[in-house]
């Protein structure tokens, strides 16, 4: 009986190991980027950005907060406070949710996420700029193929 139990445990462990190792991996490579204003505008990498990848279907509340943030127009102090609150709530959800991967951008803003293939991925970058209370950027994309992209930490401010 003991030998059968040990054999069963070893077989189960081997099956789990094969499934984990055999899962296709997707590489998402990116750059956290901002800019220095002036003429010409100079693009610069942002170091130390905490970058997390999530399976979109697993973070519906976070996706809802980000959608509201995207559609909020800053017209006065109240709308700025609302955006700041949404930003803090989003950061809290990111920090409390299970991620597919988490990394920190290097000194040039570059990062690489290696994830198991999935339908769609939310990539969320959280910077550390004291002058910018809403210092995050996010992007949704397919999680089925390798891709390269930019996380625009300037919220579109680098476009001339």
Q: Which residues pair with residue 27 across a beta bridge?
A: 114
Domains in the chain: boundaries: 25-152
Structure tokens at 75: 């017209």
Say if residues 113 and 28 touch (Cβ distance below 8 Å): yes
For residue 28, the model assigns a pLDDT of 97
Segment 130-149 mean pLDDT? 87
Say if residues 151 and 113 touch (Cβ distance below 8 Å): no
- Per-residue pLDDT of 44-57, as tens digits, reads 899 999 999 999 99
Q: Which residues pair with residue 133 across a beta bridge?
A: none
What does pTM read for this prediction? 0.79
CATH 2.60.40.1120 corresponds to the domain 25-152: yes
For residue 10, the model assigns a pLDDT of 47
Say which residues have a Cβ less than 8 Å from residue 73's Cβ, sequence separation at least 6. 79
d(C-alpha 83, C-alpha 89), whole Å: 10
């Amino acid at each position: 009986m003991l030998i059968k139990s040990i054999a069963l445990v070893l077989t189960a462990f081997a099956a789990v190991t094969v499934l984990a190792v055999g899962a296709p991996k997707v590489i998402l490579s990116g750059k956290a980027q901002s800019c220095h204003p002036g003429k010409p505008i100079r693009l610069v990498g942002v170091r130390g950005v905490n970058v997390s990848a999530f399976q979109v279907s697993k973070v519906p509340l976070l996706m809802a907060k980000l959608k509201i943030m995207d559609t909020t127009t800053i017209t006065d102090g109240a709308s700025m406070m609302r955006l700041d609150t949404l930003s803090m709530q989003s950061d809290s959800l990111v920090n409390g949710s299970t991620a597919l991967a988490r990394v920190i951008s290097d000194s040039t803003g570059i990062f690489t996420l290696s994830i198991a293939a999935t339908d769609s991925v939310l990539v969320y970058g959280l910077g550390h700029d004291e002058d910018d209370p809403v210092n995050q950027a996010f992007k949704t994309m397919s999680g089925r193929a390798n891709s390269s992209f930019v996380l625009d930490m300037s919220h579109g401010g680098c476009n001339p």
